[in-house]
Amino acid sequence: MKGFYFYLYLVIDLFSRKIVGWEIWEEESAEHASQLIHRTVLSEQCLIRKSPLVLHSDNGSPMKGSSLLETLYSLGITPSRSRPRVSNDNPYAESIFRTCKYRPEYPTNGFENIHKAREWVLRFVHWYNAEHCHSGLNFLTPNQRHQGLAKQIFEKRQQVYEAAKALHPTRWSGSTRNWSLEEKVWLNPEKVKPIQAGQML
């Protein structure tokens, strides 16, 4: 629709990369963000798990609005924001939006209307969560990581690789591929400079 903009609100789980909540609206507002967060927390049953939650967002006005902040506090979610004037503060968000925009079927001329936009994003979310073998997850789908299936899947892959190596050892110059993932994920880990023996702190 020429001359109109649709705004995609997206919530991803940092650990699994799964899109856990999304919505499209014709305008930006803290109220819309608040509704989405509330719905996402309920659908993911976050209140039952009692795990500490942090919502990291950009510095846009909808993410600073009082209605969203009230929702976060009422749900026990700690707000976190990108550093001012730092465009690449959230590589996970940058990555998923690039993946979205570079899908072959992405309509370069825009969407006919908001309903068409929502239909397209619904298909994208299904593909991304359930079919997309994510390179950042060692080629698991976000759903597989989110459901705790990583260890089981990696063990099977390891068995396949070891069997292939036993049959054709000349194809490998060293060990087989490392099928594992870190169990802790950091948004922007601090780079700690190693200290040499005898150095002062």
Q: Supply 39's token pair.
A: 């719905």
Residue 80 confidence (pLDDT): 84
Residue 57 confidence (pLDDT): 84
Please report which confidence band the pLDDT of residue 160 belongs to, taking 50, 70 and 90 as the band edges: very high
Token pair 């799964």 in the structure block, residue: 18
131-137 contact pairs (CB < 8 A, 24+): 132/99, 134/17, 136/17, 136/95, 137/16, 137/17, 137/181
The overall average pLDDT reported for the chain is 87
Residues 2-18 have a mean pLDDT of 89
Higher-confidence position of 59 and 166: 166
**Do 28 and 22 touch, CB atoms closer than 8 A?**
no
Per residue in 89-106, pLDDT tens?
688 888 999 999 999 999
Domain 7-135 grouped into CATH 3.30.420.10? yes
Break the chain into its structural domains and give their ranges: 7-135
Residue 194 confidence (pLDDT): 52
Residue 58 confidence (pLDDT): 77
Percent of the chain with pLDDT over 70: 87
Mapping DSSP to helix (H, G, I), strand (E, B) and coil, where does residue 9 land? strand
| pTM as predicted | 0.85
Per residue in 168-177, pLDDT tens?
999 988 899 9
Per residue in 49-58, pLDDT tens?
667 888 888 7
Query: What is the phi/psi pair of residue 82, to 5°?
Result: -65, 155
Task: Tell me which residue of 62, 37, 32, 59 sits closest to 47, measured CA to CA.
Answer: 37
Residues 40-49 have a mean pLDDT of 84
Percent of the chain with pLDDT over 90: 58
